[in-house]
Structure 1
Amino acid sequence: MTIAKVLMAGCMALAATGAAMAKDNPMVGGAPMYATKNIVENAVNSSDHTTLVAAVKAAGLVETLQGPGPFTVFAPVNAAFAALPAGTVDTLLKPENKAMLTKVLTCHVVGATAMSDMVAKMVADGGGKHVIETLGGCKLTAKAMNGMITLTDETGGTATVTIADVVQSNGVIHVIDKVLLPAQ
């Protein structure tokens, strides 16, 4: 079964159980996350995602991520952006670098709802890893280690999902501890 079929089946299951899952949404960045709000409406309330929100605005992706989706967003925390080489974020936020910023950000977005249990199943079915293609055309390799999901980007950098399954009205957010980068 293709990832799209598995993810679409998961979307249908999510729609049927969305109300129940809303009660169990974790807090992110000190703020409650509401399953009735979209990705942008929730992200702006997280104190851990101010850099990501600023980048989404600079890239002109707000309207897209407020759209119907479904989307899975692997959302790097502020510390992940701060860990990039000095000046990287400031350079990416410049208007003349909008295309590169958009590429980096869309390498964190999948055009389907992928809950962590679905990703873990795909990893298990794939013999320990599963390649996920993002809207930015990046290929992320998902693995499960010690009960945690990791994602390795095209440069070899690895992020860990630190908060999984934050249900949104238009998909799901998984909080990660590193910025995922496209191949150079």
Structure 2
Amino acid sequence: MADIIETAVNAGTFNTLVEAIKATDLVDILKSPGPYTVFAPTDEAFNKLPEGVTLDALLQDNHKLKRILTYHVAFGDVRAEDLMQIEEAETVEGSVVAVESASGSIKVNNANILQSDILTDNGVIHVIDAVLIPGLVAAE
């Protein structure tokens, strides 16, 4: 089984996420044994960044980009079944994301989980339709 990075590369829908991870030197963390849970925004999700936030600007601000990316990673192997039973998850960035489930669908903050439980050898990936922005970064 492939690790989180290899799985994201092979999927072909996370090119922007993989580019950002490489730009911030987070590859080693996401290749480590983990386990980690990654809320992975699709390339399309990066095209819908909030007003005033651009990928080019983020790629120039390594600190802010790293905070945003680590806000998409939670410790442990947290599957959809687990997400339906919790209201928040602590992220590697240090703050928490809100988790909401209703009628079989799951939201993380304002992002919908489009596909859940993509298993890797060092964790699990959940595909989301929006980029999660931690509160402090959004205010900067």
TM bracket, shorter-chain basis: over 0.9
CA separation of 1:87/1:136 partners in 2, compared to 1, >3 Å: closer, same or farther? closer
How many pairs align?
A: 135
CA shift at 1:118, angstroms? 1.1
Q: Percent identity?
A: 39
CA separation of 1:106/1:87 partners in 2, compared to 1, >3 Å: closer, same or farther? closer
Aligned mates of 1:87, 1:69 — CA distance in 2: 30
Q: In the alignment, which of 109, 115, 123 is matched to residue 73 of structure 2?
A: 109
Aligned to 1:170: 122
Aligned to 2:25: 60
Question: Which deviations, in whole Å up to 9, do the C-alpha atoms of 1:22-80 show, x marking residues without a partner?
Answer: xxxxxxxxxxxxxx110001111122110000000001101110000010000000111
Aligned mates of 2:81, 2:39 — CA distance in 1: 15
Q: Work out which structure has the larger RCO, using CA pairs closer than 8 Å and 6 or more positions apart in sequence.
A: 2
> SS at the partner of 2:97?
strand
Task: Considering fraction of residues, name the structure with more strand.
Answer: 2
Larger Rg: 1 or 2? Answer: 1
List aligned pairs for 1:71-86, cutoff 5 A.
Answer: 71-84=36-49, 85=51
Aligned mates of 1:117, 1:143 — CA distance in 2: 12
> SS at the partner of 1:44?
helix
Aligned mates of 2:83, 2:29 — CA distance in 1: 23
CA shift at 1:150, angstroms? 0.3
CA shift at 1:133, angstroms? 1.2
In the alignment, is residue 93 of structure 1 matched against residue 59 of structure 2?
yes
Give the alignment's TM-score, normalised by structure 2: 0.92
Give the alignment's TM-score, normalised by structure 1: 0.71
> SS at the partner of 1:160?
strand
Q: Specify the code of the residue in structure 2 equivalent to 1:91.
A: A
Aligned mates of 1:119, 1:64 — CA distance in 2: 23
Structure 1 segments unaligned to the other structure (5+ residues): 1-35, 123-129, 153-157
Structure 2 segments unaligned to the other structure (5+ residues): none
Question: Which deviations, in whole Å up to 9, do the C-alpha atoms of 1:94-136 show, x marking residues without a partner?
Answer: 2xx11110000000000111000011123xxxxxxx1211010
Aligned mates of 1:87, 1:135 — CA distance in 2: 22
